[in-house]
Amino acid sequence: MDLFLAQEESRQRSGGMFTLAMCLMAGVFVSVHMLVALCSGTVLSDVSLHQRLIVWTLPATLGVLLVGVVVRAYALRFGGASVARELGGRRLHPATQDAGEMLVLEMVEELSIAGGLPIPEVWLLDDEPSINAFAVGRDASSAVIGLTRGALERLTIEELRAVLLHEFSHILSGDMRLKFEMLVWVQGILFLTWAGRLMVASDSPVGDGFWGGKAAPAGKRPVAGRRAPAQDLDGESQSRSLLGILMMLVGLVTSLFGRFLQGAIARDTEFSADATSAKCLASAMPVVSALRKIGGLPQRSYLNSPTAPESGHLFFGQAWSGVVSTFFPTHPTLEERILRLHPQWNGDFLASVVKRVVTDPNSPAQTGGTVEAPAVPEMSAAARAAAAIGARKREKVKAKEKAETLSTKGYPAANLVFLGTAMLPSQLPAAAALRRSIKPEWLKHTQSLEGAKGLLQELMKSPAHSTHELAAATASQMFLLLDFSMPMLRRLTQNDYYVLMRRCRKELVRTEEIDVVRFLLLHVARRRLGIALGVREIDPVVAADLPAVWNECQVLVSLMMRFGAPTQTARQSAHAAAWASMGYENPPGPRESVNVVEMVDALEALAKASPFLKKRVLVACGLAATYQGSIPEREMALLRMFADAMGSPVPHLSLKNME
């Protein structure tokens, strides 16, 4: 999957979703206006009636819709964690001792490293026995992965990995952000129903009114300590109840618009996510088995949470059932999804049993240390044969990727073709190798908030001012440690965030010459945490052509050129190759010097570029850093930090990863 192509397609769908949402809101207004006109008891063909009513119905409808959007946007300002908490989830701690939770966390870490993403928080829906999972967040910096108790207990390791890969594909492709934005629009469209229910409930016999107390009519204020006579409030209560019922009736109509919006945007993305997950595993059988197990459960993938209908488009499977979901489903049917992956399917679903995950004392630490408890074999001979075929196919795909990478085109050009390409089978073992390069004592710091804060400050110290063993960490290891620290650092308060950033900057400027790698690492951390904590907005796309970011390209290419080749002749060749990749045969001369402020300003501007333009700039930077057919480790880490700072994180690329 080409991340930049997928993100561009998602951006175009986002524009279509906004247009569709505007059309649906116009439909809501028309529905409200016509319902009020019908209740007025006059002839609908009376033009003067509509002219009088539109003065009231238009502002009132738009006001209610906008209030709904604003309320929902404020409730979701902290990203995916807000949604997971609404669904009744429990955040898993990185230092948990539960074997099943450890397995899930390690699997999420592995897939995050393979995709080049900051490691998301993992939430478990303990009270949900069905099989389901979700990914939600404003972008990768605030992403959350969630799964139900049924998914943890009923799926095998390969099936669980397939489901998580499905969700990671939504994060990488930008579909997750699109679905997150949809939450806000759906809430705005459904706000009339919620407001009507609240008004009716406020007039219940045990209620205390709409605002918690019933105001007396003018001139008849009750004496302190005495309640106003009931007959004085009957008219007000009946008016509010009638208005509330009217709003609920309108809400029934508008809810159909909201469900249509959910289904129109979400259904097509599920097919592509299924296919991407199957491609990464080089076999569709784990995805098919997970879907068949969902079909074999009485409760399928349905949730008990009352907020499931509003967030149902976020999940791996259909999260709720009802009459409306029959006509406006958020997901394709299980049969459609299975047949897309396995056309020879005979229509049978699989029964599943609850399994336990236990600690394996003989398992090495780096492999996770967990195995599935013995259970009744579920695979038939045909299924085992299919799994064997899938394993052989996986090896063939890996060999093909290696051959393409090591082709006669040369390492830099061939390898940079894979820039932004994720969900490849070879990336999973490469992620495990990267994780093993991190010392266990370093990882311990990432399992607590104080440890993660201290780790980030220690990473900002130059080797000359640090006595910690982290001074020997490579640029790639430093970047990976930041990824591991993200689940804990997202728990910072906004005040603690500002304090931590000031302390890190103070450590960074202690030396006369600021280290570019550490300064860039701090910039990435500041951007990620700012988005996750709601103190920074995601940059909109305002630049789609190279001339709009010409100066920024010159800054980054010049910087990478000076890091790469050691000789002036090699630098000139790398500089020419970089600009030639962007279509310039007579490139401008490199800048004599580039400071860290210019670098950050360039990255801030390129964060507002289109996905395709970002890829062109990143490939040029990679070519500028090549020397004798390879990209050095530090330059590869810088390239990935550039991509992360632009809002398009990419997986690690190296010759070893493709072997």
- The confidence score (pLDDT) of residue 199 equals 61
Radius of gyration of the CA atoms of the chain, in A: 28
Q: Quick check: 110 and 432 in contact, CB under 8 A?
A: yes
Q: How far is CA 325 from CA 53, 258, 317, in A?
A: 33, 11, 12
Mean pLDDT for the stretch of residues 333-353: 89
Mean pLDDT for the stretch of residues 562-569: 75
Q: Quick check: 292 and 338 in contact, CB under 8 A?
A: yes
Q: Which of 480, 511, 532 is the last residue of a domain?
A: 532
Confidence at 43, pLDDT banded by 50, 70, 90: low
Confidence at 419, pLDDT banded by 50, 70, 90: confident
Q: Is residue 515 part of a domain?
A: yes
Q: Which amino acid is at 463?
A: P
Q: Distance between CA atoms of 61 and 53, rounded to whole angstroms?
A: 12
Q: Distance between CA atoms of 505 and 312, rounded to whole angstroms?
A: 42
- The answer on 645 and 575 residing in a single domain is yes
Supply the mean pLDDT for the chain: 77
Q: What is the pLDDT of residues 60-109, one digit of tens each?
A: 777 777 777 777 777 777 778 888 888 888 999 888 888 889 999 999 99
- The confidence score (pLDDT) of residue 160 equals 93
Q: How many domains does the chain have?
A: 4
Q: Is residue 624 part of a domain?
A: yes
Q: Distance between CA atoms of 330 and 403, rounded to whole angstroms?
A: 41
Hey, which residues does 627 pair with through a beta bridge?
Answer: 630
- The answer on 474 and 425 residing in a single domain is no
Higher pLDDT, 95 or 149: 149
Q: Is residue 173 part of a domain?
A: no
Q: Is residue 25 part of a domain?
A: yes
Going by C-alpha positions, the residue among 5, 70, 58 that lies closest to residue 28 is 58
Specify the residue for token string 């790398």: 574
pLDDT at position 399 over 90: no
Q: Which of 311, 341, 371 is the last residue of a domain?
A: 341
Tokens of 180: 């997150």
- CA angle, corner 455, sides to 145 and 435, nearest 5? 55
Residues of the domain holding 549: 411-429+540-658
User: What is the CATH classification number for the domain harbouring 93?
Assistant: 3.30.2010.10
- The answer on 547 and 425 residing in a single domain is yes
Region of 41 (left: φ > 0; alpha: ψ -120 to 50; beta: rest) is: left
Q: Distance between CA atoms of 235 and 279, rounded to whole angstroms?
A: 65
pLDDT at position 349 over 80: yes
Lowest pLDDT segment from 39-48, 346-355, 612-621: 39-48
Number of Cβ atoms within 10 Å of the Cβ of 47: 7
- The answer on 124 and 75 residing in a single domain is no
Q: Is residue 120 part of a domain?
A: yes
Burial code (b: 16+ CB inside 10 Å, e: under 16) for 532-563 equals bbbeeeebebebeebeebeebbbbbbbbbbbb
Q: Which of 532, 566, 589 is the last residue of a domain?
A: 532
E strand or H helix at 58 = helix 47-75
Q: Distance between CA atoms of 387 and 314, rounded to whole angstroms?
A: 29
pLDDT at position 650 over 70: yes
Tokens of 281: 């595993």
- 217: DSSP letter: P
- The confidence score (pLDDT) of residue 74 equals 74
Q: Is residue 559 part of a domain?
A: yes
Q: Distance between CA atoms of 354 and 134, rounded to whole angstroms?
A: 21
Q: Is residue 376 part of a domain?
A: no
- The confidence score (pLDDT) of residue 541 equals 81
- The confidence score (pLDDT) of residue 132 equals 93
Higher pLDDT, 146 or 567: 146
Specify the residue for token string 């982290």: 470
Specify the residue for token string 């029964």: 351
- The answer on 622 and 557 residing in a single domain is yes
- The answer on 628 and 604 residing in a single domain is yes
pLDDT at position 625 over 50: yes
- The confidence score (pLDDT) of residue 377 equals 45
For 268, residues 6+ apart whose C-beta sits below 8 A from its C-beta are: none
Going by C-alpha positions, the residue among 567, 578, 570, 658 that lies closest to residue 616 is 578
For 575, residues 6+ apart whose C-beta sits below 8 A from its C-beta are: 557, 558, 561, 587, 590, 624
- The answer on 272 and 161 residing in a single domain is yes
- The confidence score (pLDDT) of residue 338 equals 92
Percentage of the chain beyond pLDDT 70 is 73
